[in-house]
């Protein structure tokens, strides 16, 4: 992350939904803005709303799952400091509750 909170931590791409914006469209837009990756197909994982998960205020995150091909190369943009792919078995320390989101996604989509 380029900015606080959790500056210099790794985090999943994300951001805020604009007024009158559909959740999936917002997720695609945020992914594109922060990684330069365009995707057509996203699947909603679940919502995360535990109090204090974000030190700025009470935030609710709706997380999405997507798959990209091996040759996809993104580029950090907007408030992303850097972009990097990690092996699920060797993740760095993550911002917010993003490890919980990844764990849920792995349980749902990989460990089927």
Q: Which residues are catalytic?
A: 82
Q: Say if strands 61-65 and 43-48 run parallel, antiparallel, or are unpaired.
A: antiparallel
* Closest by Cα among 64, 65, 60 to 50: 60
Spell out the alpha helix ranges (H) of the chain: 23-35, 98-105
């Amino acid at each position: 992350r380029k900015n606080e909170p959790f500056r210099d931590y790794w985090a999943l791409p994300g951001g805020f939904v604009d007024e009158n914006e559909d959740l999936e469209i917002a997720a695609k837009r945020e992914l594109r803005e922060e990684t330069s990756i365009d995707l057509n197909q996203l699947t909603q994982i679940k919502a995360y709303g535990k109090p204090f998960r974000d030190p700025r205020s009470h935030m609710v995150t709706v997380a999405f799952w997507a798959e990209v091909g091996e040759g996809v190369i993104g580029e950090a943009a907007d408030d992303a400091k850097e972009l990097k792919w990690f092996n699920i078995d060797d993740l760095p320390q993550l911002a917010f509750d993003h490890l919980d989101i990844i764990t849920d996604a792995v349980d749902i989509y990989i460990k089927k």
